[in-house]
Structure 1
Amino acid sequence: MNDQKNFVNHIRPSFVPTGVLTVLYTFCLGGLSFLAFVILGITGLLMMFHYQPGDSSGFSSILTIASVIPYGGVIRNLHYWAGQLMVVTVNLHMLRVVWTRSYKPPKQLNWLVGVALLILILFLDFTGYLLIGSQESGAAATVAVNILGLIPGIGTGLAQVLFGEPSALSGSTLVVYVWHCVALPMIALLLQLYHFWRIRRDGGVRPL
């Protein structure tokens, strides 16, 4: 760790105050991920007014949003790229936590919350992909259901809870829509608020 700190101090520009760099190191990735989450919420809410979940209407709704609704293409692209930004920043944030060993006591509970958030965000991203309703997303849903079905005992039931009935694998079912637009965002928001509260209580990521 001493060699690591010496290296960072060596490459740190002399014209930037140390306090500013510490703030950037500590809050940049987490702040960017939360900003992406806010953009996802706003653009997702705007698209919900025009999206129709269903085996045949999902894909046509996406086409309508992108080509007919004013600024619909911009909103959809913002939603897509905000999702990608959130996945990237959260992964980089987790790597930085591991690098600085900020998962150790008393921050181990917040680390577990962060891991749960990462899994939740990946599932949120996947369900959004399924809502496109294309042949590719339908095939992805089929693969996911088949993989979950391999889990002994609970696999089939878990697949039905997450993706609906096995016959509805187009990716634009009402079950996936509810997960992506209601349940997962609410859970993610609650976990993030708890994550922020734990940071205020136990401290954030250690400076590099």
Structure 2
Amino acid sequence: MRRLYCQIANFLTCSFFQSQGGSSFFSDRFGRSLAILSWWAFIIALVSGIVLSFNYRPWGNVYLALSKLTYQFPYGIFFRKLHYLSGQCFLLFALAHMSEHFLRRTFLHMKPIEWLRLVSAFFLSFPLVFTGFILKGDKEGIFAGEVMVNLAREIPIVGAGLAMLLLKPGEDFFLRPYLHHTVTLPLLVIFLLGGHRRRLFLEKGLGLLLLVILGVLTFFYQLPPDIPPRAEIAGITGPWFFHGIQLLLRYGSPLMVGILWPMTPISFMLALAFPLVSSFRQFWILTGILWVIHLIVLCVAWFLLPILAGVSG
């Protein structure tokens, strides 16, 4: 208990300061805390997802089956809320952790393979959450799955094959997203984190604190409502981080705004692993500008999509 108290106190009081000399918002302690929180959010989501998977069936009437799991399975609503909240925390903490790495330019002091694995794991957090969104089986989930497979088909040469790997239309619509969400993507994230995860496993204090906070939140937080698949409703949207792409798809080609647009900053981040590229400060600044533009588009989309949905409805 004393160790847990010390870890919490250190996080609250020392996160924003260097351990020696001067103050800095992006201190080593703060960055490590973000990594620990991201990792344990992933573990909580993984364990709660395993509990849910025992009663989830990715075929038939998935919407109805998930409703029964949520409201008839013992503690179903608790585990579903815990899984949702921890998944969102995993993504947000991973985003904050990568931002901290980027702003401090720690890639200059990391082995190229280490930076590549870290950025790749960060990138996979988005399809991991996205496939979970599809598995709701409601109108939004079906919409997200259809958009995902249609965007994949736009990729030259390999698009058709990639689309088949991601999702198969018909009765098995949810099966492949289910396999990717529960097996493929979690295993890839665990593999990519490598030795990083072994160090984070030893830091249980913040993980326990996060579990307690999320557990308490499940009693107050209301899940976004599931929309029946046959409901007539305007303004269907994907997960929150997809809203910028969804807005741009109204005005641009799927290949440009659905594939190249989100992959460009990720590609630039990967390129920073190589000293020949990272040595140019201008490239680092350009990468930061790309992320800021994406953030601005995302914020605009949060504002405009409800308005556009009302106009079209």
TM range (shorter): 0.7 to 0.9
Q: Which residue of 2 aligns with 1:79?
A: 83
- Name the counterpart of 2:255: none
Residues 176 and 129 (structure 1 numbering): CA distance in 2 closer, same or farther, change over 3 Å? same
3-state secondary structure, aligned to 1:138? helix
Cα 1:181/1:47, change in 2 over 3 Å: same
Tell me which of 37, 40, 44 is aligned to 2:45.
40
Identify the residue that residue 203 of structure 1 maps to in structure 2: none
What code does the residue aligned with 1:80 have?
Y
Q: 1:110 deviation in Å?
A: 1.7
Q: Would the alpha carbon gap of residues 69 and 159 (structure 1) be closer, same or farther in structure 2, given more than 3 Å must change? A: same
Deviates more, 1:138-147 or 1:189-198: 189-198
Secondary structure, in 3 states, of the residue corresponding to 2:194? helix
Quick one: percent identity of the two aligned structures? 30
Other-structure match for 1:186: 187
- Of 94, 100, 103, 2:98 maps to 94
Say if 1:37 and 1:86, in contact at 8 Å, map to a contact too: yes
Conserved in 2, the CA contact under 8 Å of 1:51 and 1:61?
yes
Match of 1:54 in 2: 59
The AA in structure 2 aligned to 1:40 is A
RMSD between aligned residues: 2.5
* Among candidates 118, 129, 133, match of residue 133 of structure 2: 129
Corresponding position: 1:65 with 2:66: no
Unaligned runs of 5+ in 1: 1-11, 200-208
Matched with 1:177 is: 178
SS in 2 for 1:51: coil
**144, 147, 157: which one aligns with 1:140:** 144
Distance 1:49 1:78 in 2: 16
CA deviations 1:72-95 (Å, max 9, x no partner) are 111100100101101110111111
**Alpha-carbon contact 1:54-1:174 (below 8 Å) kept:** yes
TM-score (structure 1 length as normaliser): 0.78
Once the two structures are TM-superposed, the CA of residue 60 in structure 1 deviates from its matched residue by: 1.9
SS of residue matched to 1:53 = coil
1:24 counterpart SS class? helix
Aligned to 2:169: 166
Query: 1:154 pairs with 152, 158, 167, which one?
Result: 158
Q: Which runs of 5+ in 2 are unaligned?
A: 1-12, 201-313
Contact in 2 for aligned 1:59/1:134 (Cα 8 Å): yes
Show the counterpart of 1:107. Answer: 111
Query: How far has the Cα of 1:18 moved from its partner?
Result: 2.9
Distance in 2 (alpha carbons) for counterparts of 1:145 and 1:126: 12
Task: Measure the CA separation in 1 of the matches of 2:114 and 2:165.
Answer: 28
Q: Does structure 2 conserve the Cα–Cα contact (< 8 Å) formed by 1:138 and 1:169?
A: no
Misfit runs of 4+, over 2 Å? 16-19, 21-24, 105-109, 165-170, 193-199
CA pair 155-105 structure 1, distance change in 2 beyond 3 A: same
What is the Cα deviation at residue 151 of structure 1? 1.0
Following superposition, the deviation at residue 24 of structure 1 comes to: 2.8
Q: How many residues align?
A: 181
Work out the CA distance in 1 between the residues paired with 2:148 and 2:164: 11
Q: Which residue of 1 aligns with 2:19?
A: 18
Letter in 2 for 1:42: V
1:114-146, Cα deviation, whole Å (9 max, x unpaired): 111111111110111111111111111111111
Alpha-carbon distance between aligned partners in 2 of 1:176 and 1:157, rounded to the nearest angstrom? 15
